[in-house]
Amino acid sequence: MVNKGIISAIIAAICYGISSPFSKLLLDYISPMFMAGFLYLGAGLCMGFFYIINLIKHAKITLKFKKHDLIYIVLMIFLDVIAPILLMEGLRLTSASNASLLNNFEIVMTSLIAFIIYKEKISPRLLTGIVIITLSCMILSIEGADAFKFSIGSLFILLAATAWGFENNCTRVISHLDPKFIVLLKGIFSGLISIILAIIFKEKITYIFPIFASLGLGVVAYGLSIFFYIYAQRYIGAAKTSSYYALAPFTGTFLSFILLNEAFNISYLVALIMMVLGTYYVTNEYPFINLLSKYILLRN
């Protein structure tokens, strides 16, 4: 049973890890707004399929809404519109390998917001991981060691991570609801709103293929990733699942070098080593990970 859970967690990480390099490839043919919309819509459709299967199997719907849930659902959807658009815009301006690692800044923002707003405790071990990840992000955000010019693309990705940090903390309030139902809401509504915004801003799609490719990537990178994440938690728990899921950004980095032939320099190597170390500290902070794993699951 443990092996089945570990394999599922690794599959979930790989599914999500392919997002940045393949999104980078597709952004040559589709605008960031449309891309973000179709990715989330693909995730919503995928989770809708699993949700319908679950309804047929159990023949019941259990939705326990509280009065203030609607406010946080609206905030969650709004942030899930803004964040992926910022991510796609940043990915268009920087490398997929950078984007893959910079996504880890979401862990920093989630924990800091939880500390400030919800008074969550940050242990010395977790604080060490946060500091190391932040320093790594600073290295990744500099365009060249000589000029020390801040990368605009990296800024967009860090803003996306910040938006997801707020979104994660909104999601914690409604975490009593069925996770599959929340992901379904996030995918369908955030995806459709992003597509409507793209139409309003008169963004164009030259080819039909990128639409289906983006939907398919959303199904795999977000939908199936969530499915296998949930499956893994049943066998090895939230903490261990999150530890294996931490492989996702490094999977994205590896694929970026292979598929996109991106440059590998000393500063990136230093940032990569620091990110591995910081992620190790964070993913071994089990009390925090049990909470954060819910955020990651519902954000995707």
Give residue limits of the domains in the chain.
2-299
What's the rounded mean pLDDT across residues 88-107? 91
pTM of the complete model beyond 0.85: yes
8 A C-beta contact, residue 263 and residue 188: no
Q: Which are the contacts of 232, defined by CB distance < 8 A and separation ≥ 6?
A: 5, 6, 8, 9, 12, 241, 244
Q: Which segment, 45-49, 176-180, 188-192, is predicted with the most confidence on average?
A: 188-192
In whole angstroms, give the CA distance from residue 136 to residue 68: 38
8 A C-beta contact, residue 229 and residue 241: yes
In whole angstroms, give the CA distance from residue 51 to residue 69: 20
φ, ψ (nearest 5 deg) of residue 142: -95, 130
pLDDT, one tens digit per residue, over 25-83 is: 999 999 999 999 999 999 999 888 887 887 777 766 566 677 788 899 999 999 999 99
Rg (CA), the chain: 18
At residue 63, the pLDDT reads 63
Q: Grade residue 298 by pLDDT with cuts at 50, 70 and 90.
A: very low
Is residue 143 classed as helix, strand or coil in its secondary structure? strand
In whole angstroms, give the CA distance from residue 80 to residue 146: 36
Q: Which are the contacts of 21, defined by CB distance < 8 A and separation ≥ 6?
A: 96, 100, 252, 255, 256, 259, 260
At residue 35, the pLDDT reads 95
List, in sequence order, the alpha helices (H) in the chain.
Answer: 2-17, 19-26, 32-58, 69-93, 96-102, 105-118, 124-140, 152-171, 179-200, 209-218, 225-245, 248-259, 266-283, 286-299
16 closest CA partner among 43, 50, 47? 43
pLDDT, one tens digit per residue, over 100-157 is: 999 889 888 888 888 888 787 888 888 888 899 999 998 888 865 544 457 899 999 9
